Amino acid sequence: MKRLWAPWRMEYILSDEKHKGCLFCGAIKQDRKNDKKNLILFRGRHCFVILNRYPYNSGHLMVLPYLHTPTFDGLLDKVLFDFIKTVEKSVVILKKALHPDGFNMGLNFGKVAGAGIEQHMHLHIVPRWTGDTDSMPIISETRVMPEHLKKTYEKLSRFFRK
């Protein structure tokens, strides 16, 4: 039997918090003092930025409108503008803080499109580095994360606070 040690997962496993309703709405409605715990990096006028708790790669974050909607439906032009400007700001910060070679970005509308949380739209921004994937996911179905989420949060939050 193969073992991959991930001691930071115990905090989640033992957590009493059970998410009822939308995970994202629940996180953003909490007091700002919980932002670090909830991995919220930035609160803007119409949108916010949160680190993905189950990232594809280090620095994987998401940009979301405050409005709870599964697609662009109901988003005013000013919200859409703020959304794309928040995406731009996030990319600039990821470049400064983590120095990736490129990015994958995407929106998944609907479960069949791959949306894990389909009720609240979110855009994924995944930093990529040359050689960041190896044979681990293919051979052993294991993804190696080179940096702990808390450390990534600390790196990025400094830039979002500026």
What is the CATH number for 56? 3.30.428.10
- Look at residue 2 and tell me if it is in a domain: no
The reply to whether 72 falls in a domain is: yes
Lowest-confidence pick of 32-46, 77-91, 124-138: 124-138
pTM of the predicted structure, to 2 decimals: 0.80
Tell me if 114 is assigned to some domain. Answer: yes
Cα distances (angstroms) measured from residue 47 to each of 43, 84, 128: 6, 9, 24
Task: Determine, yes or no, domain membership for 119.
Answer: yes
Q: Are 59 and 100 in contact (CB under 8 A)?
A: yes
pLDDT tier at 132 (50, 70, 90 boundaries)?
confident
* DSSP H helical ranges for 2-148: 9-13, 23-29, 35-38, 77-98, 136-139
- The end-to-end CA distance of the chain, in Å, is 47
pLDDT digit string (tens) for 23-71? Answer: 999 999 999 999 999 999 999 999 999 999 888 889 999 999 999 999 9
Where do the H-state alpha helices sit in 59-104? 77-98
| 58: in domain | yes
Asked whether 56 and 126 are in contact (CB, 8 A), the reply is yes
Q: Is 14 contained in some domain?
A: no
Establish if 1 belongs to a structural domain: no
Higher pLDDT, 49 or 162: 49
Mean per-residue pLDDT, 101-116? 86
Average pLDDT in the chain: 85
- Number of domains forming the structure of the chain: 1
What pLDDT shows up at residue 139?
A: 44
Q: Which domain holds residue 61?
A: 19-161
pLDDT for 116 equals 79
Residue 10 falls inside a structural domain: no
Confidence band, pLDDT 50/70/90 cuts, at residue 83: very high
pLDDT of amino acid 6: 61
User: How confident is the model at residue 9, as a pLDDT?
Assistant: 61
Amino acid 117: pLDDT: 83
